[in-house]
Amino acid sequence: MSDEKRGMRGFTLLEIVTVVLIMGVILGFSIPALQSINKSYQLKGASENLVGQIRLSRQKAISEDHQQQWTFDTSTNSYKVQDLTTSEWFGPFEMPKQVAMESVSLSVGGVPGNTLTCLTDGRFNGSGDIVLKSLRGDRDTVTVQMSGLVLFR
């Protein structure tokens, strides 16, 4: 092989270092954006999880004919569930560290409180909202209606 052909193949060390530096700068700028997206997904995940747990508890109340009482505690950022027939407690279940239970506005018979019961016919004994907040200030609201509908927005 001649010296001319040997020098033309491949990349120089300078070219490789330049490409690696450019990729590093791009990655460095994208990490904060990815962390921000992760926080919003954690809020959405926590909201969907809470909705799913309430719906599951409602189904358990219907299928087992056992009322399920939910108690929310904003000071500990958690909730727990009690089977009112067996007096068995489940929880406390804590929110993820990046998500806070900002407020619980539940009303049973016009009386505000922090508890709600899934009745054996699929309804709830009251209604209201649970507001979850991410560290960056985004909020999701979980709404429970007396009819048994549970959703978040």
Identify the top-confidence range among 5-9, 22-26, 115-119: 115-119
**AA letter at 59:** Q
* Fold of the domain spanning 3-152: minor pseudopilin epsh fold (3.55.40)
pLDDT of residue 152: 86
pLDDT of residue 30: 77
pLDDT at 3 over 60: no
What's the pTM? Answer: 0.75
Q: How large a percentage of the chain has pLDDT more than 90?
A: 61
* pLDDT one-digit tens code per residue, 99-137: 999 999 999 988 999 999 999 999 999 999 999 999 888
Residues 78-86: contacts with CB within 8 Å, 24+ apart?
Answer: 79/50, 81/53, 81/57, 84/117
Q: For the chain, where are the E strands, in sequence order?
A: 68-73, 78-83, 88-94, 99-108, 111-113, 115-118, 127-134, 139-144, 150-152
Q: Where are the domains of the chain?
A: 3-152
Q: How far is CA 50 from the centre of its chain?
A: 7
- Give every CB contact of residue 104 below 8 A, 6+ residues apart in sequence: 72, 74, 114, 128, 129, 130, 131
